[in-house]
Amino acid sequence: MWCSFIPARLAAVPFCVLILIICFSADSIAQTSDPKFLSAPDFKLSAEAVSAGIDGAFKVALSIDEEGNVKSVRMYGDPVWPCDTSPKREIEAVRDAVEAHLRLLKFSPAMKNGKPRKSEVMLEFAIGDAFKHAVAPGEAKNGSSPKLVKGGVLNGRAIRLVKPLGPTAKGIVDMQVLINEQGNVSKAGALAGNPALFTVVREAACASKFSPTSLGGTPVKVTGVITYVIQ
């Protein structure tokens, strides 16, 4: 199996972040061209979703036809939302809106032997301000003081990493989180993994504690992922 990693051009899609991972069998490398992202309408969270504090990113799989149209969308996880709330109606509305939006994405089709062919694309789609505007610490411009930074995988930075209580299933869950200036998890939501574990893992993530992060002496919020392995 051969894979190419293709970051899409953010300037072309100002309201989302797309990361494309496309895989092909090794014997077709020489005759294959990847699908290429062309366009998408702007995506904006509803006022109800913003008021509910919904943010984060979705990991999704797209099936693209020979004309470059999205024929099906599979969503693997949830957005993030405040740890002390349960906005089920707003979350479902966001999921529906994101799926409808992703169906409007346009690609140039994958090619094989000079002919268009169907393909599959994996991507992450960021929907809210925290996960769209967070920057890596090294990306901060001189003299600037970003309020949100990307922390990557955060397990090693935990002061207290709470274990899920009584899970009956096994598997891996990548829990995306927003950590506030005091090191507390303020929002969480499953990015990917075993759906049977999402609720108990989210509760554990929300109860965890991290070292506060500062840039230039200024406390900042951090976005990142906690990976849980339940055996």
Instruction: Give the residue among 105, 125, 107 at the shortest CA–CA distance from 116.
Output: 107
pTM for the predicted model, two decimal places? 0.78
Question: Residue 77's CB: how many other CB atoms inside 10 A?
Answer: 23
pLDDT tens readout for residues 12-46: 343 444 444 444 444 445 467 899 999 999 999 99
pLDDT tens readout for residues 61-109: 999 999 999 999 999 999 999 999 999 999 999 999 999 999 999 999 9
Supply 188's token pair. 């969480």
Domains of the chain (ranges; CATH) run: 2-129 (3.30.1150), 134-230 (3.30.2420)
Integer Cα distance of 125 and 10 in angstroms: 11
pLDDT of residue 158: 95
CB burial readout 4-13, b (16+ within 10 A) else e: eebebeeeeb
Say if residue 7's pLDDT is above 60. no
Supply 153's token pair. 């995988």
Please say whether the dihedral angle defined by the alpha carbons of residues 84, 94, 229 and 18, taken in this order, is positive or negative: negative
- Average the pLDDT over each of 29-33, 60-64, 149-153, 159-163 and give the range with the smallest value: 29-33
Say if residue 198's pLDDT is above 90. yes
Instruction: Give the residue among 159, 231, 173 at the shortest CA–CA distance from 203.
Output: 173
Bridge partners, residue 74, by sequence? 61
